[in-house]
Structures are given as structure tokens and as C-alpha cells.
Amino acid sequence: MTNFTIELGSKAKSNINGFAGIVTSRAEHLNGCNRYWLEPPLDKDGKYMDGRWFDEGELIVTAAPKLKKTNNERGGFSSAIK
């Protein structure tokens, strides 16, 4: 079982290329590497930019999550603002 060290909804940035965004997904790989998907903010024109996957050791958390997981009636999770 994997122990992810970064919470979903955290703001993070790469310590290699400076790419920054919000952690919206995470994945456990067979080789034991945890990876996180960062969604960047909208660009200057208000358009969505492509997110990217990063290894856990490459990321620096810059802000705690502003969302809280809450159980929904279907047994999964939905996000709610704290």
C-alpha cells in the first residue's frame, strides 16, 4: 500500500523546471514511484494550459489544500470548500 506524501488539492512546484500548479491526481507505479498530476493556473488569456506528471521527490508543496474530501452518497469522494 502506498503512502502518498502530498495531499490532493495542494499547490506544488517542480524543483527542476519550476512548473507549478494544483495536485489534482496521483498515481502509484509498480516500481514504487509515486507521481502527481499538476494542473497549472489559467494563462493570461484565461485559457487552460496542459498539466503534467511529476515524481514525488521533484515536487515542493507551496500551499496546503483549500478543498476538503467529503463522502458522497455513492461511496466515493467529492470536494467541498473548507
DSSP 8-class letter at 46: S
Flag whether pLDDT at 82 surpasses 50. no
Whether residue 29 is predicted with pLDDT greater than 70 in this model: the reply is: yes
* 71 in Cβ contact with 77 (< 8 Å): yes
All three cell numbers of 64, joined, read 496546503
pTM score, two decimals?
0.77
Tens of pLDDT along 62-77? 999 986 666 666 655 5
Chain segment 44-64, per-residue pLDDT in tens: 999 999 999 999 999 999 999
Whole-number percent of the chain with pLDDT over 70:
78
